[in-house]
Amino acid sequence: MELLPLLGSALLLIGLVLYLARPLLLANAASTVAAQSGDVRPLYERKEQLLGAIVELELDREIGKIPAEDFQRNFAQLEAEALAVIAELDQLNGAGSDELERRIEAEVAALRQQGADPPGELAPDRQESDPAAEKALQHNFCANCGAPRRDGDRFCPQCGVALAETG
């Protein structure tokens, strides 16, 4: 008779422990799955932490809270770790891949075929002595930053400089 309440209490205690430990067990499983699936959120968080620590370290140096030799050592350590995290993020995001470079080259080639060379850069088939072509080219781009402009723009969409009227 006394065994039944003891067994029930033990089962209730095991159930309670499993219920309370569930978030810890699921967090470990989720982090393992996230690491395997390429979830980059923890890397972005770590990158932000490291960059914040670098800024804080520089502030501490400026106000004299940390000696120069400690600053150099800590800065080098934080910088190396931040660069490693950034490199890992770049690798996961595909930056520096051949695909990205091919896309950029394709867009540049398309712009050159349209005759939309940035100011100061002439297509290989254009002569430098053609002032009419150079003038038309300058009207298609901002003289300050080289950003392309559309008809009717009065200000550069990139840098905000007032554009000369095209008329």
Phi first, then psi: give them for residue 3, nearest 5 degrees: -75, -35
pLDDT for res 76:
94
- The mean-pLDDT minimum among 100-104, 135-139, 155-159 falls in 135-139
Query: Which residue has better confidence, 127 or 56?
Result: 56
Q: Is 161 left (phi over 0), alpha (psi -120 to 50) or beta?
A: beta
Among residues 105, 54, 114, which one has the least CA distance to residue 78? 54
Look up the pTM and report it. 0.39
Average pLDDT estimate for 30-43: 64
State yes or no: pLDDT of 22 exceeds 80: yes
pLDDT by residue (tens digit) across 51-87? 999 999 999 999 999 999 999 999 999 999 999 998 8
The domain ranges of the chain are 40-95
Residue that the structure tokens 């501490």 belong to? 60
Across residues 159-166, what is the average pLDDT? 75
